[in-house]
Amino acid sequence: MIYHWEGKDAVAPIAAAIHLGYFPPSVKTGKELHFLLRQQLPFRNGVEQREVGTILQLGQGRKGETVFILAVGRKPDLVLKTINKMLPLLDEDPTNYLFINCKAYLNRNNPMEVKARPRLCGWYNAIGQLVDQVQRNL
């Protein structure tokens, strides 16, 4: 399970934290969200340029799936293709790997359109919904 993102913000680290159960799947108030964002979540400010491309293991999910995050920079296609093509060389089955494009999901489900809650909560809850979908399809 590899949550990938550009690497500049905390989208994939938050998705991984929700997946692993460290963070709740949704928040109701801004206060609750700010409390979460104040925690020492690894890579909460994104990663540095020299870490883009490094696959970072963050833990193991409830069904035994290993959760990774991967900063891919602005052009993710070639990096993801290279990883996919390398897997058979390392005797791994690519179908056992799930690549989740956090940015694409958030762009599709634009949290700016969520009017019912403060904007940042909408953004967080969209990540929660993404993780929920991923976990249901496991």
Partner 1 sequence: MKIIYHCYGRAHSSVVASQLHLGNLPMEGSVTKEAIMAIPEFDLAEAADWGEPYLVGRDAADNEVYILGLNSQAPICIRAMLSLAGHLGQADQILLVNTLAAIGLKTRIGGFMSKKLRCNRIGKPLAASGIISSLPRLRQLVGTVQEELIRKVQDGEEEDHCHYRR
Q: What number of H helices and E strands is found in the chain?
A: 5, 4
Are 54 and 42 contacting, i.e. CB atoms less than 8 angstroms apart? Answer: no
Site for partner 1 in 68-127 (CB under 8 A): 68, 70, 72-73, 75, 78-79, 81-83, 85-87, 89-92
Radius of gyration for the chain, computed over Cα atoms and rounded to the nearest angstrom:
15
CB of 50 to partner 1, least distance (A): 8
Which amino acid is it at 34? H
| Residues written for the chain | 138
DSSP 112: G
- For position 130 contacting partner 1 by CB under 8 A, the verdict is no
Is 90 or 112 the residue whose CB approaches partner 1 more closely?
90
Instruction: Candidates 28-36, 67-75, 98-106, 126-134: pick the segment binding partner 1 (CB under 8 A).
Output: 67-75
The footprint of partner 1 on this chain (CB under 8 A) covers a number of residues equal to 24
Which amino acid is it at 110? N
Classify strands 2-5 and 99-101 as parallel, antiparallel or unpaired. Answer: parallel
CB of 59 to partner 1, least distance (A): 13
Q: How many CA atoms lie within 13 A of 116 on its CB side?
A: 3
Site for partner 1 in 45-64 (CB under 8 A): 51-57
CB of 1 to partner 1, least distance (A): 12
Question: Which residues of this protein are in contact with partner 1, per CB under 8 A?
Answer: 51-57, 68, 70, 72-73, 75, 78-79, 81-83, 85-87, 89-92
